[in-house]
Each structure stands twice: as C-alpha cells, then as structure tokens.
Amino acid sequence: MTRADIVEEPLILSEQAMKRHELDHYFGSAAEKIEVAGTYNLLYNTIFFIEAGIGSALCFKGMADAVETSRGLVFRPLEPELRSANYVVWRRDQVFSRAGRLVVAALDEVFLIMPNKHY
C-alpha cells in the first residue's frame, strides 16, 4: 500500500505511534488528511473493529499472523517501508522470574541490543 492508498482509508493506529508522532514524518503534508478512526494498545482487540468496517490497522508484519489466517484478514506492506523504534523497559533493579529471564534473553538473541546484560 502506498501513502496515497492509506490517506483514503480510516485508520486504527497504535497508541504508541500516535504519542510519538511517527506518522507525521512518514506522511509529511498528507498527515493532515489522515482519518484516525481509533487507537489501540493490543492489536488483537482491534480486529473486532476491523471486522466491523471501522477502519484498517497499521501494525508490524507478523503481529497478527494467526488471526489473519483464521479470520480472513490480510497484511499489506507499506511502500515505501515505514520503520519504527520499539522499547522494552524495566526497572534498573528488576529481579526477573525464570520466565522473565527467558523472555529478555530471547529478545536479546533476536535484537542483539543489550550490551550490559542485567537479567
């Protein structure tokens, strides 16, 4: 989907992207024309709004793979690609459970972003 395609569509956007104004830069002057039908924190809950015809959601590829297949939804990549920063944050003195340590270790393995491992 191109920027022009998206401007014509009511959108359901992540609350995080809205707070950081990420789409303003991506769309430039066309950002004023975007109709935001709603925002979400959990993509799964947004699926009901999509099915009701309220709008289309912008999300990361792979976030809704299982739901796409079972509910007949499709993922369409943006052209040009939109990149976004994401953050995983915890207290400096956080003591993780075994499950928490496994999650953080998996994130570290995939993203290689934690030079000072504190987990």
* pLDDT tens track for 23-32: 888 888 888 8
pLDDT(118) > 60:
no
pLDDT(119) > 60:
no
Same domain, 13 and 64: yes
Secondary structure (3-state) at 37: strand
The pTM score is 0.69
Same domain, 67 and 94: no
Number of domains comprising the chain: 2
- Determine, yes or no, domain membership for 83: no
Structural domain containing residue 7: 3-71
Can you give the pLDDT at residue 68?
Answer: 67
Q: Report the range of poorest mean pLDDT among 9-13, 59-63, 98-102.
A: 59-63
Percent of the chain with pLDDT over 90: 25
Of 119, 91, 94, the closest CA to residue 107 belongs to: 119
Secondary structure (3-state) at 61: coil
CA 11 to each of CA 8, 60, 85, 89, 104: distance values in angstroms, whole numbers, following the listed order: 9, 14, 20, 28, 32
